[in-house]
Structure 1
């Protein structure tokens, strides 16, 4: 699904001739990637739906998948969870991590590229050539049940192709 050889075509590795047009958010991402190896972009909840957060730069800096988390009420919690996981190598589809959200495991699921445009715009700007690997960090409900077990739409099911997802708040921009 992804390039077999990791050739990074991001805005750090390649000059696309538009660096004078970068705004403060673009420069912030670049600075974070250069300093910390990745940046976490937060998209706050609004009247259209819940918020989400995702990393930019892990693929560039470490050859590791980018991470995304959706639907928790507190954007800062999602950003913190992504930073905890962001430090780890070898993250892959199906893994469980019990030490990210207090008292609850999270599971990692591969994001299908058909979702990228709807959710990862700044990541597309950075890499210029998707798809690059993304993993969705999926959290359970208070009973420890994951969305694929109970059909919950509190977070999107990005491991499904967009056409297979139940229509709702997460599919309106796909």
Structure 2
């Protein structure tokens, strides 16, 4: 069960805005600034991809929050147009070249730390999430031994062990 639009009048302005965007646009992108958390990089995540498009939610770390939000929204538009992003596949065109993207399944144990609004929206319903990793300028990802320190340190790894 997810939150319904009928609840909007009984919620805070921010909570009501999140619900309206999901029910009007199909999803909402939440951006989180590092300075608001006192640790870790900026990041953004989707709320509603699973509800509206039957596609895992997406989280992206380590770029400026505006860039993260735009990229996750581009992913949503691609999903809306029929793309099904899959774990362990490399994709071009989400971020500016030379950066590639690769998706990995996120372990639900990390949801509470990063995607509170998604947990709130889905209430007790389980939902899948993919982490969108970006490569360094040479096409290497954080799990590659020669990946740049910046790309590795900017992207915490919260992978599913299943």
Q: Same fold (TM over 0.5)?
A: yes
2:51 to 60, 77, 80: 60
Say how many residue pairs are matched: 149
Secondary structure at the aligned position of 2:100 is classed as strand
Structure 1 pair 130/111, CA: closer, same or farther in 2 (3 Å)? farther
- 1:165: which partner in 2? none
C-alpha offsets along residues 110-158 of structure 1, whole Å, 9 cap, x if unaligned?
A: 0011101100101000001243000001001223210011372321111
- 1:4: which partner in 2? none
- 1:78: which partner in 2? 68
- 2:26: which partner in 1? 37
| Pairwise CA distance, 1:49 | 2.5
Secondary structure at the aligned position of 1:54 is classed as strand
Secondary structure at the aligned position of 2:144 is classed as helix
Does the CA-based 8 Å contact 2:8-2:19 persist in structure 1?
no
Structure with a larger share of its residues in helix:
2
User: 55-64 or 84-93, which moves further after superposition?
Assistant: 84-93
- For structure 1, the residue ranges without an aligned partner over 5 or more in a row are 1-8, 162-174
Provide TM-score, normalisation by structure 1.
Answer: 0.78
Cα distance in 1 between the residues matched to 2:8 and 2:20: 13
Provide TM-score, normalisation by structure 2.
Answer: 0.84
- For structure 2, the residue ranges without an aligned partner over 5 or more in a row are none
